[in-house]
């Protein structure tokens, strides 16, 4: 059974710092991996999707990498801003499945 | 203006009542999903549908029911059999089954509270 773990559960950094969020998964047989952002009381916003054949994806200040063989992904946020404060969720789509398996998220606080 | 809408935003239920949560999308997506989110937990899949008039149980389907009569709509009913329904419910949709290329797009959610 696929399991997704996100470490740390919470992270607080000063504005301007570069930071890395971690995601690990137990089964490397995946179609893709997605990173989402969730603001309090809101739905999820897709940030980046990495296909199983890809190593990384970039969007603005965000860069996500995927190492399928080791079951790891990282989300790199450059020059963090207070507006980046949110919970970041990682999800994998197991091979042969229509479902997403989610981690519990990392709650990020960027202090001005 | 394409997207996913959920209503109501807040819903209160008395013990023993059935309630229905609405989810509508105008993205022309084939697949739709219902998730439940509890504090400090990841999302858990309740039901999903890949095509009209067909749906499958997710990991926590007990006490819930769905229908998919139209491509745009995927309502979720929380029945009295669901013992702990207080949670945040999220609906999502994606373009197509297979290929593994599809992003899931989420609605704003409905917060259900049992009184």
B19's tokens: 């309630």
* B58/A99 touch (CB, cutoff 8 Å), yes or no: yes
How close B99 gets to chain A, by Cα (Å)? 8
Q: Average pLDDT in the B66-80 region?
A: 96
Q: pLDDT by residue (tens digit) across A29-58?
A: 999 999 999 999 999 999 999 999 999 999
pLDDT (tens digit, 0 to 9) for every residue of chain A, 112 residues total?
A: 899 999 999 999 999 999 999 999 999 999 999 999 999 999 999 999 999 999 999 999 999 999 999 999 999 999 999 999 999 999 999 988 878 999 999 999 999 9
Q: Does B45 touch chain A (CB under 8 A)?
A: yes
The CA radius of gyration of chain A, in Å to the nearest whole number, is 13
Q: pLDDT by residue (tens digit) across B8-61?
A: 999 998 888 999 999 999 999 999 999 999 987 889 999 999 999 999 999 999
How close A44 gets to chain B, by Cα (Å)? 6
* DSSP character string of B87-104: EEEEEEEES-SSTT-PPP
The bridge status of strand A30-38 relative to strand B10-13 is unpaired
For residue B95, CA distances in Å to A47, A66, A73, B105 come to 17, 23, 24, 9
């Amino acid at each position: 059974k696929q399991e997704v773990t996100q470490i740390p559960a919470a992270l607080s950094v000063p504005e301007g710092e570069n930071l890395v969020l971690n995601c690990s998964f137990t089964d490397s047989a995946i179609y893709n991996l997605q990173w989402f952002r969730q603001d309090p009381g809101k739905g999820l916003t897709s940030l980046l999707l990495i296909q199983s054949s890809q190593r990384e994806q970039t969007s603005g200040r965000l860069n996500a990498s995927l190492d399928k063989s080791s079951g790891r992904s990282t989300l790199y946020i450059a020059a963090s801003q207070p507006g980046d404060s949110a919970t970041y969720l990682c999800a994998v789509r197991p091979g042969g499945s229509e479902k997403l398996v989610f981690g519990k998220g990392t709650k990020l606080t960027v202090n001005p | 203006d394409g997207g996913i809408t959920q209503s109501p935003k807040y819903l209160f239920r008395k013990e023993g009542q059935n309630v229905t949560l609405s989810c509508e999308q105008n993205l022309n997506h084939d697949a739709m999903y219902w998730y439940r989110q509890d504090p400090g937990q990841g999302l858990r899949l309740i039901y999903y549908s890949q095509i009209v008039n067909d749906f499958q149980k997710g990991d926590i389907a007990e006490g819930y029911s769905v229908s998919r009569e139209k491509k745009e709509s995927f309502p979720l009913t929380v029945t009295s059999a669901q013992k702990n329904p207080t949670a945040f419910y999220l609906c999502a949709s994606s373009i197509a089954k297979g290929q593994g290329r599809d992003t899931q797009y989420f609605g704003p959610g409905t917060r259900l509270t049992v009184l």
